[in-house]
Amino acid sequence: MLEKIKEKITVKKEPDYKKLYYRTQFEAIIIIFIFILFLYFNFNYLLFKVIMSQNYIYTDSLDKVFSDCLDTDIKGNYFKEFDNVAIKLFTEKLTDINGDIYTKLYTPSQYTNYEETLQNDAAECEIHQIGETTYLHLTNFSPYSLSFVNENEDKLKNTKNLIIDLSDNGGGELPICCDLADRFLPKDSIIYEEVGRNFFFSSLNKAKTDISYNYDNICIVQNEYTASASEVFINALKENLDNVTVIGTKSYGKGIEQATYDLTNGYAFKLTTASLKTPHGNSIHKKGIIPDIYYSGENAEEFITQNINATSKGANTYVY
């Protein structure tokens, strides 16, 4: 009896080779079909790429084009770098037509320098306390500045008033901006809206948690170089809270969003994918944010700390 049971357990079912054969054939047909479609829709470009990179006789001109676009000597490897040159030339033409300076190709050295600049700028973040007021200077919205905020969580929670200095802050990463704005806002408050050409680049971004930072007064300092994610952050607080006062000069006015894609061999491609709207549905693109109190002096921190209660009630006041 035990032997029969063991035989049943050890018997393996033979695979259905006929079904396996037809399945393999079907998958092969699908792969070939996709490959044919790829060739059909890319035939002109692929033919041009092969012929131009392998047969064009004026190689000195090719060297000049590749060198100007990629800022490096490609040593005659035209085929490998051809796509990057095409991207570079196309995006430069777009910039000439519509002034979109944000859609572009990053070479490996440019991309590395960009990341290093973010880190170096974030190293200039600053926080200190003056009586019942905490001064926070954010130089960008990056993982490095987010780490700085997290490291100083206790100082930010144990204060009555907060000054957020975003002067010269050109922006950064919108997810970081959302993370920080979320801490000031009630749950489900609108932070900003993305409006793209299709569903994938359109969304309504809301606060996911309840208020972590609560203050009597929040004063935000801006200037003409305050842009992009900084402006998103300012509008998120200003249009959702009643204790926020913006001080300084009119901000830059960048209400569009870019997505960055890593390419092969260290290259990256950034393109404009959406326009941004404030919680109230407004666009500040090429308009900027008008401060509640105009201040063009050199020490906004001192001015605010001396007049914290008065500035919180001001609106369209000029101070020079």
pLDDT band at 200 (very low <50, low <70, confident <90, very high): confident
Q: What is the pLDDT of residues 106-154, one digit of tens each?
A: 999 998 898 899 999 999 999 999 889 999 999 999 999 999 999 999 9
Q: How far apart are CA 307 and CA 210, in angstroms?
A: 29
pLDDT at residue 14 greater than cutoff 70: no
pLDDT of residue 2: 55
pLDDT of residue 320: 36
Q: What is the pLDDT of residues 178-199, one digit of tens each?
A: 999 999 999 999 999 999 998 8
pLDDT of residue 260: 93
The per-residue pLDDT of the chain, averaged, comes to 90
pTM confidence score: 0.84
pLDDT band at 10 (very low <50, low <70, confident <90, very high): low
Residue from 276, 271, 258, 273 nearest 194 by CA: 276
Q: Is there a contact between 237 and 229 (Cβ–Cβ < 8 Å)?
A: no
Q: What is the pLDDT of residues 157-181, one digit of tens each?
A: 999 999 999 999 999 999 999 999 9
Q: Is there a contact between 84 and 70 (Cβ–Cβ < 8 Å)?
A: yes
Cα distances (angstroms) measured from residue 306 to each of 146, 243, 246, 273 = 28, 17, 16, 43
In the chain, the domains with their CATH numbers are 57-101 (no CATH), 112-319 (3.90.226.10)
Mean pLDDT of 42-60: 95
Mean pLDDT of 213-242: 97
pLDDT at residue 317 greater than cutoff 50: no
pLDDT band at 314 (very low <50, low <70, confident <90, very high): very low
